[in-house]
């Protein structure tokens, strides 16, 4: 019986703040999984990439957990391609949509000064040329809407419509204040773009930041890890060790 390694795969960012935030998530996951190897790889911008990381982890089975909020091109094409050659590598589901993400988004809105009775909420999402990823984001908006008990609209930062600035304009036509919920994993290019397109509207922080990762985010990564590996036989999972 062999302990699997967990390879958490983020998009990657040039932002030092974003890099520290994602590294903090990896550290928190590793702390919850004593005895398991937990490593970080990236699909773009940063090194190590997935191919190099899988080669480094050739001594053990590997569960690749996408630290990506929706299942688009990077999951269905890039990660499928990278994981296919090895029978002892399994690809987990992406992080979203999931109710635990809605919980963190709710907390970030509160930190940004959300006034439940007054504010219109627009969910800023990266956007993708893969419509499956955009549908995941719309599903996340529906989850957040249910949690808040009010309408949440989606504004895309690239590749899809409506653009964030257009969504904010529509939401504010009746004179109500708009607050932007940021459906991004960590600070970086897209968060900076969110602030620019918001036109002065309050913008909540991304899911990860300078503070400790929310318990729900760590729990979500571990659940994706366990669920993926439970589909294969002959390997000890964290659940077996509890």
Instruction: Give φ, ψ of 208 to 5 degrees.
Output: -110, 145
Contact of 71 with 9, CB cutoff 8 Å: no
**What pLDDT, in 10s, does the model give residues 181-210?**
999 999 999 999 999 999 999 999 999 999
Fold category of 99-197 in CATH: Rossmann fold (3.40.50)
CATH number of 5-96+210-241: 3.40.50.1400
Contact of 207 with 101, CB cutoff 8 Å: yes
**What pLDDT, in 10s, does the model give residues 53-94?**
999 999 889 999 999 999 888 888 889 999 999 999 999 999
In the prediction, which pLDDT does 117 show?
77
Fold matches, 5-96+210-241 and 99-197: yes
CA distance 113 to 20: 25
SS3 string, 69-95, reads CCCCHHHHHHHHHHHCCCCCEEECCCC
Domain ranges of the chain: 5-96+210-241, 99-197
In the prediction, which pLDDT does 155 show?
98
């Amino acid at each position: 019986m062999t302990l699997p390694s967990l390879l958490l795969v983020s998009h990657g960012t040039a932002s030092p703040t974003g890099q520290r935030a994602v590294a903090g998530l990896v550290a928190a996951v590793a702390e919850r999984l004593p005895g398991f190897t937990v490593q970080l790889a990236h699909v773009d911008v940063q090194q190590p990439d997935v191919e190099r990381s899988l080669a480094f982890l050739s001594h053990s089975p590997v569960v690749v957990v996408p630290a990506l909020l929706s299942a688009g091109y990077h999951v269905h094409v890039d990660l499928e391609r990278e994981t296919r050659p090895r029978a002892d590598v399994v690809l987990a589901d992406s992080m979203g949509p999931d109710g635990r993400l809605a919980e963190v988004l709710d907390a970030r809105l509160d930190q940004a000064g959300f006034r439940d009775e007054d504010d219109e909420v627009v969910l800023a999402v990266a956007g993708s040329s893969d419509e499956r990823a955009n549908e995941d984001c719309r599903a996340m908006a529906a989850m957040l809407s249910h949690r808040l008990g009010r309408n949440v609209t989606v504004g895309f930062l690239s590749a899809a419509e409506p653009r964030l600035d257009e969504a904010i304009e529509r939401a504010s036509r009746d004179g109500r204040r708009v607050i932007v919920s940021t459906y991004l994993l960590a600070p970086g290019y897209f968060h900076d773009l969110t602030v620019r397109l918001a036109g002065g509207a309050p913008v909540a922080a991304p899911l990860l930041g300078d503070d400790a990762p929310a318990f729900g985010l760590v729990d979500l990564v571990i659940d994706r890890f366990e669920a993926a590996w439970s589909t294969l036989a002959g390997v000890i999972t964290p659940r077996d060790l509890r």
